[in-house]
């Protein structure tokens, strides 16, 4: 959220100042604030410290290394790699920050692979937390319900509070459109 407040072209647009003011009011009355962020930046810390007029304590949780790799490719190359993985029989997880892309992938993959169980979850058209009963069951007990799924396509509608703890998917592809800022300092 802080990153969106920094960005005049972000999703908050003209509401940025009001949202920042409300956030400051909430933080001022809280005795203890614990925030979790996978990509917290130095700029975020500076903004919070200026907002609260006090020092922020950052605790970094270091994840144990796993034998995973990330390969950054062009959109089309990544799409082709995902299709090849599906064709080879692998269980595939596709995550994206675009509800439209979830819908597009789902329609395309269901038409191309009609015998596979392809499930798309995104916030539009009521298929996230308030919609399709199959999706609700999946989100309620993802570790048991995911077993019958060949391809799962998700948007951020399911990223918060859902923890997939079983090794069902053999390939994971991500399609994200974002910007990243370099840290201003390494203060912590």
Q: pLDDT digits over 87-107, tens only? A: 999 999 998 888 888 889 999
Q: Decide if 186 is inside a domain.
A: no
What pTM, to 2 d.p., does this model score?
A: 0.58
Same domain, 35 and 101: no
Same domain, 132 and 42: no
106 vs 57, 81, 101, CA distance in Å? 43, 16, 8
Same domain, 81 and 126: yes
How confident is residue 14, by pLDDT bands cut at 50, 70 and 90?
A: confident
Domain count within the chain: 2
Identify which of 49, 33, 29 has the alpha carbon closest to the alpha carbon of residue 41. 49
Q: Decide if 181 is inside a domain.
A: no
Tell me how far apart the alpha carbons of residues 91 and 63 are, in angstroms, rounded to a whole number. Answer: 25
Q: Decide if 164 is inside a domain.
A: yes
pLDDT at residue 51 above 90?
no
Same domain, 34 and 88: no
| Contact between 81 and 173 (Cβ < 8 Å) | yes
Q: pLDDT digits over 108-125, tens only? A: 999 999 999 999 888 776
If residue 137 lies in a helix (H) or strand (E), which one and from where to where?
helix 133-140
Tell me how far apart the alpha carbons of residues 61 and 46 are, in angstroms, rounded to a whole number. Answer: 20
Identify which of 156, 148, 150, 149 has the alpha carbon closest to the alpha carbon of residue 175. 156
Q: pLDDT digits over 31-40, tens only? A: 887 777 766 7
Same domain, 79 and 170: yes
Q: Decide if 18 is inside a domain.
A: yes
Q: Decide if 127 is inside a domain.
A: yes
Q: Decide if 102 is inside a domain.
A: yes
CATH number at residue 165: 3.40.50.300
- Give backbone dihedrals phi and psi of 92, rounded to 5 degrees, phi first: -125, 135
Same domain, 118 and 168: yes
Same domain, 23 and 99: no
Q: pLDDT digits over 127-175, tens only? A: 555 567 788 788 888 888 889 999 999 887 665 567 777 888 999 998 8
Domain that holds residue 167: 75-175
The percentage of the chain sitting over the pLDDT mark of 70, rounded to a whole number, equals 76
Question: What is the secondary structure of 151-179 as a DSSP string?
Answer: EEEE-GGGTSS----S---SEEEEE----
């Amino acid at each position: 959220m802080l990153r969106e407040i920094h960005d005049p072209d972000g999703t908050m647009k003209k509401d940025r100042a009001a949202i920042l003011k409300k956030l400051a009011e909430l933080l001022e009355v809280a005795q203890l604030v614990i925030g979790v962020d996978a990509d917290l930046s130095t700029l975020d810390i500076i903004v919070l410290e200026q907002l609260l007029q006090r020092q922020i304590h950052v605790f970094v949780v270091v994840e144990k290394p796993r034998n995973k790799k990330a390969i950054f490719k062009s959109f089309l190359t990544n799409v082709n790699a995902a299709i090849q993985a599906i064709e080879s029989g692998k269980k595939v997880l596709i995550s994206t920050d675009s509800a439209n892309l979830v819908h597009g992938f789902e329609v395309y993959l269901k038409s191309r692979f009609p015998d596979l169980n392809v499930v798309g979850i995104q916030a539009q058209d009521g298929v996230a937390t308030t919609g399709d009963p199959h999706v609700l069951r999946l989100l309620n007990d993802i570790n048991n319900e995911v077993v019958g799924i060949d391809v799962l396509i998700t948007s951020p509608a399911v990223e918060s509070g859902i923890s997939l703890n079983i090794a069902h998917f053999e390939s994971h592809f991500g399609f994200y459109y974002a910007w990243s800022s370099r840290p201003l300092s390494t203060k912590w």
